[in-house]
Amino acid sequence: MTEPELTRLVECVPNVSEGRRPEVVEEIVAAFAGAAPEVLVLDRSSDSDHNRTVITLMGPGPALVEAAVAGARACARLIDLTSHRGAHPRMGALDVLPFVPFGAVTRLRGGDAPDLDCTDLALRAGRRIAEEAGVPVYLYGAAARHPGWSALPAVRGRGFEALRAGGHAPDFGGPGLHPTAGATAVGAREVLIAFNVVLAGADLDLARRIAAAVRERDGGLPAVRAMGVPVEAGVQVSMNLLDWRVTSPAEAYAAVAALAGRHGARVEASEVVGLAPAGAFEGVDPADLRLHASLDDLLLESRLLQALTTSKENR
């Protein structure tokens, strides 16, 4: 890609309800990647406890719309939510599909170029997923059409089973859910960091109390969503940092560690699910956050450079 093309890149982060069958994840990633030659797969992060995979894609807007439709069809074919179990809430096989501004000229919403407008891309992808994959779509974030639906938890509600029993009508498709693939939340949002902290010497009740103490909704840290969940290693405080400039991973880590320490527990490890912008970890030593991965493996910019280099070598 040339320099002008780089400024027009958009990020897309599909969240897929499968993290235990590597061969299925591989087939789904291949469906996203194979939809258009310009689609770059920067990362895939699978978690067996959550039974979920987060995929980070980058490319021009129209190519990502094609990828979204192809990936949705693969998810609907390969994942059956009636037999799916995991710690993470979910409403669909392809659970969440956000478009995120990245390039210098892309925007969350507005502007004269629809291919650079993440809200417009979400609308196009959502309509086509409903029509071509047969999966109903709820719009969220900057693409939301209904008051109160900008926040993803408000759209997802209590998940697939509750929505199947009777929930609000989707924006595209429906009115009922797909019998096995559920529905997909498609939206446009700013950069989000999924950041998990595993605790030692804590039970699920303490993890949930710490999550309540740090999340914004209950008076905790600004721009933080959090929940306590059981994992194979014990328990985890799973967080979404909605604006790392307001609450950074280091600040979220420190708050969780302090609360755990007051109750005789400690932090065992932390992890970033997917990728994060370099600015979020500027001046941070990964060892201080007990991160197992190197920063080069976690940073969006580093992985983009690697993907572009590989793509150029393969031409």
Active-site option among 50, 84, 88, 168: 88
CB 25 within 8 A of CB 75: no
User: Known catalytic residue: 88?
Assistant: yes
Q: CA torsion, points 169, 158, 160, 207, in degrees to nearest 10? A: 150
Residues 6+ apart with CB under 8 A from 1: 9, 38, 308, 311
Measured CA to CA, the distance from residue 81 to residue 161 in angstroms comes to: 9
Distances (CA, A) of 98 to 108, 176, 186, 309: 11, 22, 6, 25
Residues 6+ apart with CB under 8 A from 191: 11, 100, 244, 276, 277
Residues marked active site are found at 88
